[in-house]
Amino acid sequence: MSAAIAFRTGYFIMTTIALPLVTFAGFPAISDGAEIQAPVQEIMDATVENWSGDAAEWIDIFGPGKLDKLYSKDFAAKYGEALKHPAMEEAISPFDYDVIVNGQDACPLEGLTLTSQVAADGKEEVVASFRKMACADGPEAQTVSTVRFEMVTEDRKPLIDDIMMENAETKEKRLLKAEMVTIAKGE
């Protein structure tokens, strides 16, 4: 094979492979279900452990190492501002309740499921469903709580951008970032 033919063949192969690579390099990574759920799974694992009755020490889902690793920059910034107004004297949290179980009391969590989906506004979210009062007597033992985690991609990693809590009885919904902004204002 002559040098000219070898060069043209190599050039053809190189452009055939390189062109699609360059074309798709600018697109954001498409996350599969397991990847997008990973930050939420870590938060839910900590929450399950916290309410298990076996936890030696409470796991802070916003603690060092988790805030920068699992949450968006915007969420972390809002949390930092809200933390300047702690809910209790210990200054460990701007909240006086567990934001995942949406209360101060719960039983060991049961029936936890995580579902990835696209919300009505087009954002990716992970929905966590569980029973938080399974050890109770009465209808609340069967009540399923739902928490929605709005997800974003930063630096090619899925991160939690907001947490929407829903009151199981009233169906009232609250966004945690909006609550943090209110706390940061001292309200």
CA 46 to each of CA 50, 66, 158, 162, 187: distance values in angstroms, whole numbers, following the listed order? 6, 11, 18, 18, 29
What angle do the packed helices 176-184 and 73-82 form, to 10 degrees? 40
Cα within 13 Å of Cα(173), Cβ side: 8
pLDDT digits (tens, 9 = 90+) for 126-156: 999 999 988 888 888 888 989 999 999 999 9
Average pLDDT, the chain: 82
CB 94 within 8 A of CB 87: yes
Q: E strand or H helix at 179, and its extent?
A: helix 176-184
Q: Which tens digits make up the pLDDT trace of 119-130?
A: 878 889 999 999
The residue assigned the tokens 């690579």 is 21
- Collapsing DSSP to helix, strand or coil, 88 comes out as coil
Q: Please state, for a pLDDT cut of 70, what percent of the chain lies above it.
A: 77
Model confidence over 167-177: pLDDT tens digits?
A: 767 778 889 99
Q: Residue 39's pLDDT band (boundaries 50, 70, 90)?
A: very high
Phi, psi of 140 (to 5 degrees): -65, -20
pLDDT tier for residue 32 given thresholds of 50, 70 and 90: low
- CA dist 76 → 47, 71, 79, 176 (Å): 19, 6, 5, 12
Q: For residue 94, what pLDDT is reported?
A: 85
Range of weakest confidence among 13-27, 75-89, 115-129, 161-175: 13-27
Which tokens go with 93? 């949290």
What are the pLDDT digits (tens) for 40-74? 999 999 999 999 988 688 899 998 899 999 999 99
Helices (H), 30-98: 33-50, 67-70, 73-82
- What mean pLDDT do residues 72-79 have? 96
